[in-house]
A = this chain, B = another copy of it.
Amino acid sequence: MSELSTETTAFIEGLTYDANGLVPAIAQQHDTGEVLMMAWMNRESIAETLRGGRVVYWSRSRKALWRKGDTSGQIQKLIELRVDCDQDCLLLLVDQIGVACHTGRRNCFFTAVRDDSPRIIADVIVAPDKLYEK
């Protein structure tokens, strides 16, 4: 993996992290605009994502780097990383291999309130036991 420039390293340091050292990161499919998921990143995961070109989050439950796709094969290739005006939220333009959601759906936002009632609006594409059978 390549080293990051002084400017990019300063950019990462300059972000506004929460009390746990994290920022929310929205993953969006770069060509269709589909919002795939939201997860969290710390300094190390941002640096590794920018160096390696593959998205790495921070898992709050496992308290460890989460190299998305290591278990499921459903990796996210980074196309571009952006930050918002307050430097406290990231937008990751990605190329999602397969499905983003652990339920086997393409994206995580598959429940919508329609006609004043919550409804499931997307089908499972890959059975979860196939995603995690390795």
**Which residues in A have some Cβ–Cβ distance to B below 8 Å?**
4-5, 7-8, 11, 24, 26, 28, 32-35, 37-38, 50, 80-86, 89, 91, 101-103, 105, 108-114, 116-118, 121
Whether the pair A81, B112 counts as a contact (CB closer than 8 A) is: yes
Known: A24-B24, A24-B38, A85-B103. A112 touches B80 (CB 8 A): yes
B26, B34, B85, B101: which contacts A101 (Cβ < 8 A)?
B85
How many copies of this kind of chain does the complex include?
2
Considering the chains assembled together, what is the distance between the CA atoms of A86 and B110 in angstroms?
A: 11
List, in ascending order, chain B residues with CB within 8 A of A85's CB: 101-103, 105, 108, 110
Cβ of B38 and Cβ of A28 under 8 Å apart? no
Q: Which residue of B lies closest to A93 (CB)?
A: B112
In whole angstroms, what is the CA distance A123 to B8 when docked? 22
Please, which residues of chain B bring their CB within 8 A of the CB of A24?
24, 38, 89
